[in-house]
A and B are shown apart, each in its own frame.
Chain A
Amino acid sequence: MADPMRVRAQVKGTGAEVRVLMAHEMETGQRRDAAGKLIPAWHITEVTAQHNGKPVLTAHWGPAVSKNPFMFFALKSAKAGDKVVVSWKDNRGDSRTDEAVVA
């Protein structure tokens, strides 16, 4: 499995703010290496998030998302102790899932 994400979820008002950092090259497929060859595209294509087991978000990404991507979203109604699970898949079939407890 790929390198771990950092998922942080904090209560805010009646909901919660979730910040995610993912470790990924996010190679666009447009860069060339020292020999002049195109470096193939390698990037996260889909990100999903669940709150207490319920899907809340599905993101579809292209290569334009920055390397070591950051993502922020806000849960409408959440409390401390709730579980947030984030997963990603990339175009090489690699994936990663991490979770956090709302603080």
Chain B
Amino acid sequence: MRRLIVGAMALACVQLVHAQPTTAEGIARYREMLADGNPADLFEAKGEGLWKQKRGPKVASLEQCDLGKGRGVVKGAFVELPRWFADTQRVQDLESRLLTCMETLQGLDPTVIAATPFGRGEQANMEALAAYVSAASRGQKMSLPQGHTKEREMFELGKRVFFFRGGPYDFSCASCHGEAGKRIRLQDLPELTKNPGDGIGFAAWPAYRVSSGEMWSMQRRLNDCYRQQRFPFPGFASDATIALGVYMGVNAKGAESIAPAIKR
């Protein structure tokens, strides 16, 4: 059944490509050439500026933001998110935590930010901040904590969300990412029920997408997955999306983060 669905989706994507070893090598070479100068650098620089800039009604910077490793500690924070935060009594991912800090430190309105379309206004700033924070952990290995009950609960919730089928095509995340060796056109689909490897899957986002010339955070990536499944998006920084991050991130334990990466 699942095979039929993936087949249908491949057709829905219009073009089928017969993969040969040379094509795969060609694509690998293309990606290698692109890695030399990643425009994500520009967003990293912008994000660093935003982190240090005094903004919002409270005219404060984000330099006191606690991303899980202490106030203002950016290095190493990314590979431990999502995690439990005592001050909000919630498990939070990077974007959710940035929202918290933007609200409490700077006085910005998180509801307005969450409702802003990706790539515009504060959402554009969010993506730059995500690029900056993730860059500070580049090369480090994913190591999400699972010591707190809530962290383990969110892992279980994430697993259920991952396998939940719905929408007009009856898709779930697992339809594409539940088995090894799947592909859509030229994109290899990482299996996210386990560790797909260094710099793959969860360890590859945020990423600069050359096709649109935009910086995509994990929240935006999930939003687009849901769009492709013809689901309504669960909501920016919602528990469902955070739970998925916990599930994928815990499964990717030990994978090296290459974020912010560059993708087609």
Binary B-proximity of A8-52 (CB < 8 A = 1, otherwise 0): 000000000001111101000000000000000000000000000
The interface residues of chain B lying within 8 Å CB-to-CB of A89 are none
Knowing A66-B210, A68-B213 are in contact, say whether A6-B36 is a contact too (CB < 8 A): no
Knowing A19-B36, A72-B36 are in contact, say whether A6-B41 is a contact too (CB < 8 A): yes
Report the Cα distance A5→B45, complex, angstroms. Answer: 9
Report the Cα distance A22→B39, complex, angstroms. Answer: 8
What number of A residues sit within 8 Å (CB to CB) of B? 15
A23: which of B37, B38, B42, B210 is its contact (CB, 8 Å)?
B42
The interface residues of chain B lying within 8 Å CB-to-CB of A4 are 42, 45
What number of B residues sit within 8 Å (CB to CB) of A? 11
Q: Which residues 10-43 in B have Cβ within 8 Å of A in the complex?
A: 36-39, 41-42
Q: Which residue numbers of A lie inside 8 Å of B, CB to CB?
A: 3-6, 19-23, 25, 66-68, 70, 72
A-B contact pairs, 20 of them (CB 8 A): A3-B42, A4-B45, A5-B42, A6-B42, A6-B45, A20-B37, A21-B37, A21-B38, A21-B39, A21-B42, A23-B42, A66-B210, A66-B213, A67-B213, A68-B39, A68-B42, A68-B213, A70-B36, A70-B37, A72-B37
